[in-house]
Chain A
Amino acid sequence: AAGVIQSPRHLIKEKRETATLKCYPIPRHDTVYWYQQGPGQDPQFLISFYEKMQSDKGSIPDRFSAQQFSDYHSELNMSSLELGDSALYFCASSQIGLVGGEQYFGPGTRLTVT
C-alpha cells in the first residue's frame, strides 16, 4: 500500500540558510499535518492543511511557512535557520471522516543545521 512520501530524507544546512521540505500524502487523503521532533523529545505539532486551506496551527515559528497544493502535496519552508531547528520533521496525512481521522506518518526528514 502507498505510504506518505517525504523528501529529502536528510538535509544539512548552515545557519541563516533556507530549507524546503516536501510531503506527498497517501492517495485520496485530503489532510496533511507537519510535526517536529527534536532530539530525545516527543513530536510537536506545527501546522495542518485540509483541502489546501490551513486548518490548525501549533507552535510553528514565524520563520516557517507551509502550504498545500492542488495535488494535495505540501511544502514546509524554513528560513533563517537556527541550530535549534535541527530535528526530525514528520509529515502525516489522513482522510477526514474516514477511520476517525487516523494519521499516517511519513519516514521523516532529518534536518541538521550547522
Chain B
Amino acid sequence: KQEVTQIPAALSVPEGENLVLNCSFTDSAIYNLQWFRQDPGKGLTSLLLIQSSQREQTSGRLNASLDKSSGRSTLYIAASQPGDSATYLCAEMGVDTDKLIFGTGTRLQVFP
C-alpha cells in the first residue's frame, strides 16, 4: 500500500520567515505530485504540480521540488505572511492509477 507522510505535522512561525515543508512517498512509480492548500473546513486549492520528469516548479513565493530516487518532495515558502496560514497537503499519483494519495498535511500558522 502506497503511503505519503508529511513532516512537521504543525508549524508556527513569525511573519517573514522562509519555510520548508516536507513530503515523503513510498511509490517508486510516481506519475506526478501535487501540493494543495486547505483552509479550515474549505476546499483544496492546487498550488503546484510536478511531473515525474521534472525536478521543481515555481509559482510566486512557492517552490516545490521532487526527488524520485529518495521519495521526497519539498515545498519552500519564501517570506511567509499571515495569509499563508492553512494546512498544506501533498498528494502523489502513481503511473497505473487515477487516484491521488494524500499525506496527512502540515498545519501552518504564520503570526504577525
Contact = CB atoms under 8 A, between A and B. Distances in A.
Interface of A: 31, 33, 35, 41-45, 48, 50, 55-56, 58, 88, 90, 92, 99-108, 110
B46 A31 contact: no
Contacts of A105: 36, 43-46
Q: What DSSP secondary structure best describes chain B's contact surface?
A: strand
Contacts of B79: none
A48 B93 contact: no
> Residue among B45, B99, B101 with the most chain A CB within 10 A?
B99
B89 interface: yes
Contacts, number: 61
Contact of A42 (B42, B43, B97, B102): B102
B43 A100 contact: no
B31 interface: yes
B83 to A, nearest CB: 19
Nearest to A45: B99
B104 A100 contact: no
Contact of A101 (B36, B41, B44, B93): B93
27 contacts: A35-B100, A42-B105, A43-B102, A44-B102, A45-B101, A55-B98, A56-B98, A56-B99, A58-B99, A88-B41, A92-B44, A99-B49, A100-B32, A100-B49, A101-B31, A101-B93, A102-B46, A102-B49, A103-B34, A103-B100, A105-B43, A105-B44, A105-B45, A105-B46, A107-B43, A108-B42, A108-B43
> Residue among A31, A88, A101 with the most chain B CB within 10 A?
A101
Contacts of A31: 98
B96 to A, nearest CB: 9
B9 to A, nearest CB: 11
B46 A100 contact: no
Interface string B21-51: 0000000000110101000011111100101
A35 B45 CA distance: 14
